[in-house]
Structure 1
Amino acid sequence: MKAVVFDGTRAVSVQDVQDPEIEQPTDVIVRVTSSALCGTDLHMYDGRTGAQPGLVLGHEPLGVVEQAGPAVSAVSVGDRVVVPTHLYCGTCLHCSRGLSAACSRVRPGGFGAAYGYAGMGPYRGAQAELLRVPFADANCVPLPGEPGDANEDAFVMLADAFVTGWHATELAGVRPGSVVAVFGAGTIGLLAAHSAVLRGAAQVFVVDRIPERLEVARSYGAVPIDFRDGDPVEQIRARRRADRLPPGEDGMDGVDCGIDAVGFQAIDRSDSAHENPRQVIEDLTALVNPTGRIGIAGVYAARDHAPAPAGHEDGSLRVPWAALFDKGIHVGFGRTHDRRYTALLRDLILTGRAEPQRVVSHRAKLDEAPAFYRDFDRRANGIIKVVMKP
Structure 2
Amino acid sequence: MADTNRGVVYEGPGRVEVEDLEFPKLELDEQNHRKLEHGAILKTIATNICGSDQHMVRGRTTAPAGLSLGHEITGEVVETGRDVEFIKKGDLVSVPFNIACGRCRNCKERNTGVCENVNPARAGAAYGYVDMGGWHGGQAQYVTVPYADWNLLKLPGDRDRTMAKIKDLAMLSDIFPTGYHGAYTAGVTTGSTVYVAGAGPVGLACATACFLLGAAVVIVGDMNAERLAQARSFGCETVDLSQHDDLGEQIAQILGTPEVDAAVDCVGFEARGHGREAGGERPATVLNSLMDVTRAAGGLGIPGLYVTGDPGGVDENAKIGQLGIRFGLGWAKSLTFATGQCPVMRYNRQLMMAILNDRVEIAKNVNATVIPLEEAPAGYQEFDKGAARKYVIDPNNLVGAGV
Residue aligning to 2:372 = 365
Structure 1: stretches of 5+ with no match in the other structure: 242-251
Q: Is 2:248 the partner of 1:236? A: no
Corresponding residue of 1:378: 385
Gaps of 5+ in 2: 28-35, 396-403
Q: 1:120 aligns with which of 126, 129, 132?
A: 132
Q: Which moves more between the two structures, 214-223 or 351-360?
A: 214-223
Per the alignment, do residues 136 and 361 of structure 1 end up closer, same or farther by CA in structure 2, a change over 3 Å counting? closer
Query: If the length of structure 2 is used for normalisation, what is the TM-score?
Result: 0.91
Which residue type is aligned with residue 339 of structure 1? Answer: M
1:85-130 Cα offsets, whole Å, 9 max, x none, are 0010112101001111111111124111000100011101110000
CA contact (8 A) 2:230 2:388 kept: no
Alignment of 1:288-303 (within 5 A): 288-303=294-309
2:210 aligned with 1:196: yes
Among 337, 344, 352, the residue aligned to 2:343: 337
Residue 245 of structure 1 is matched in structure 2 by: none
Shift of 1:363: 1.6
CA deviation digits over 1:248-272, x for unaligned, max 9? Answer: xxxx540010100000001212343
Distance 2:37 2:202 in 1: 34
Alpha carbon RMSD of aligned pairs, Å? 1.4
Displacement of 1:309 in angstroms is: 4.5
**Matched-pair contact (CA < 8 Å) for 1:277–1:310:** no
Whole-angstrom CA distance in 2 between matches of 1:47 and 1:228: 25
Aligned match for 1:183, one of 181, 185, 197:
197
**Structural mapping, 1:257-276, within 5 Å:** 257-269=262-274, 270-276=276-282
Structure 1 residue identity aligned to 2:302: I
**Which of residues 140, 146, 167 is equivalent to 2:159?**
146
The CA distance in 2 between the partners of 1:311 and 1:108, in whole Å, is 26
Task: Figure out how many residues of one structure are paired with residues of the other and give that number.
Answer: 378
Aligned to 2:332: 326
Please name the residue that 2:101 is paired with. 89
Report the secondary structure of 1:16's partner residue.
strand
How many angstroms does 1:362 deviate by? 2.4
1:215 aligns with 2:229: yes
Per the alignment, residue 346 of structure 1 pairs with 352
* Matched-pair contact (CA < 8 Å) for 1:361–1:383: no
Partner of 2:7: 3
Shift of 1:323: 1.0
Secondary structure of the structure 2 residue equivalent to 1:234: helix
Deviations 1:344-365 (A, max 9, x none): 0000001100111111342211
| Kept in 1: contact 2:99–2:118 (CA 8 A) | yes
Q: Which amino acid aligns with 1:25?
A: E
The answer to whether the 8 Å contact 1:360/1:387 transfers is no
- Matched to 1:239, the amino acid is I
Work out which of the residue numbers 4, 10, 15 in structure 1 matches 2:19.
Answer: 15
TM-score (norm. length: structure 1): 0.94
Mapped contact 1:277–1:311 kept (Cα < 8 A): no
Confirm whether residue 287 of structure 1 aligns to residue 293 of structure 2. yes
In the TM superposition, what is the alpha-carbon distance from 1:325 to its structure 2 partner? Answer: 1.2
CA distance in 1, matches of 2:172, 2:135: 19
Change (3 A) 1:95 1:218: same
TM-aligned CA distance change 1:236 to 1:337, over 3 Å: same
Deviation at residue 202 of structure 1 after TM alignment = 1.4
Contact 1:4 1:12 in 2 (8 A): yes
1:152-197 Cα deviation digits (max 9, x unpaired) = 1001100001000000012201111111000001111111111111
1:106–1:40: structure 2 CA closer, same or farther, 3 Å change rule? same
User: Could you give the per-residue CA deviations for residues 7-57 of structure 1, whole angstroms, max 9, x where no partner exists?
Assistant: 000101000010111222101000001110000001100111111011000
Aligned counterparts of 1:81 and 1:212: Cα–Cα separation in 2: 32
Aligned residue identity for 2:267: V
Identity of aligned residues (%): 37
Distance 1:196 1:372 in 2: 28
Q: Matches of 2:239 and 2:316 in 1, distance apart?
A: 25
Aligned residue in 1 for 2:45: 33
- C-alpha contact (below 8 Å) 1:375/1:383 kept by paired residues: no
In structure 2, distance between residues paired with 1:212 and 1:351: 30
What is the aligned partner in structure 2 of residue 77 from structure 1? 89
Contact 2:248 2:258 in 1 (8 A): no
* Contact 1:56/1:116, CA 8 A, preserved across alignment: yes
Distance 1:170 1:124 in 2: 30
